[in-house]
Amino acid sequence: MKPLPRPAVPFTIVLVLLATTASLVTLVWDGAFPDPSPKPLVNRVLAEARGWSAATLLLAIPLTVASLRAALRGSTRGRLVFIGTLAYFVYTYLEFAVSPPFTALYLVYVAAFACAIPPLVMGAASIDLAELHATFGTRAPRRATAAFCLVFGALLALAWLEDILARSVAGSFGWPMGAHAVGHVVHALDLGLQVPLAIAAGVLLLRGRPSGDLVAAIMLVNGVCMGAALTGMVAWSSAASGTTVWSAWPFAIAWAVAIAFALTFLRHAADA
């Protein structure tokens, strides 16, 4: 396996600094996400952003730093985890950047996902797919992982398409307002990024393509980080509004399932 390109390191260092800054500012400053509704009792958008930022700060950032160090030491597993966390950062800060409202952190968001893209591309391009496929061997749970990826992609697509198609058929078009504008962005990014990634991983694994191991690893690690972020988002929002945090249990279960699949699959990536 070729070494991880050295230019990936400074990009990642800047990314980690930007993500840490954005997360901490969001957690301590009420103005990080102005509320879209007039005189609200609870700023749910800010509460959700704080839950997401807490997960980024406590899981995604440490995982990125640890996996980068492992990747630089020649660890195949570390490199796969590293690339997967970068996919999470691209999605997260692209969403934050293009979602309203316009905030003081806007350029931080843009710079963060911009810094995540080069090391993601460099890391993925440096992997010899045939060697990676051989590293995983024949005992890797490719069919089970493929099934998980396909089910995840299908459920996520159905969750958003039901409302989108219903509104389209009813001719309910127009400019999304307030918090609905954020949902509009989430739907586009999930359907345009998360769903294709999951489906591609499942199909490539079922067909036995070497690229399936790489795409599946990215999807699984990204799924673990996303699961933590969604669980934190719902739990924080529920606590802020005075309802029970147990409303986050479906997301916590999905997160646990993603962790189980990621650990089971990635343990077959033999390290040098």
For the chain, the distance separating the N- and C-terminal CA atoms, rounded to the nearest angstrom, is: 9
Question: What's residue 272's pLDDT?
Answer: 52
Residues whose CB falls within 8 Å of the CB of residue 144, separated by 6 or more in sequence, listed in order = 261, 264
Question: What's residue 94's pLDDT?
Answer: 97
- Count of domains forming the chain: 1
Q: Are 155 and 258 within 8 A, CB to CB?
A: no
Quick check: is 37 in a domain? yes
Q: What is the DSSP string of 171-228?
A: T--S---THHHHHHHHHHHIIIIIHHHHHHHHHHHHTT-HHHHHHHHHHHHHHHHHHH
Quick check: is 259 in a domain? yes
Question: What's residue 76's pLDDT?
Answer: 94
Of 231, 270, 257, 252, residue with least CA distance to 80: 270
Question: What's residue 36's pLDDT?
Answer: 63
* Domain extent for 227: 8-266
Question: What's residue 42's pLDDT?
Answer: 60
**Average pLDDT by consecutive 10-residue portion of the chain (272 residues)?**
92 98 96 71 82 98 98 95 98 94 94 98 96 93 97 95 92 82 91 97 97 98 97 92 83 96 94 62
Quick check: is 1 in a domain? no
Q: What is the DSSP string of 125-140?
A: HTS-HHHHHHHH-S-S
Quick check: is 271 in a domain? no
Quick check: is 2 in a domain? no
* pLDDT tens per residue across span 128-166: 999 999 999 999 999 999 999 999 999 999 999 999 999
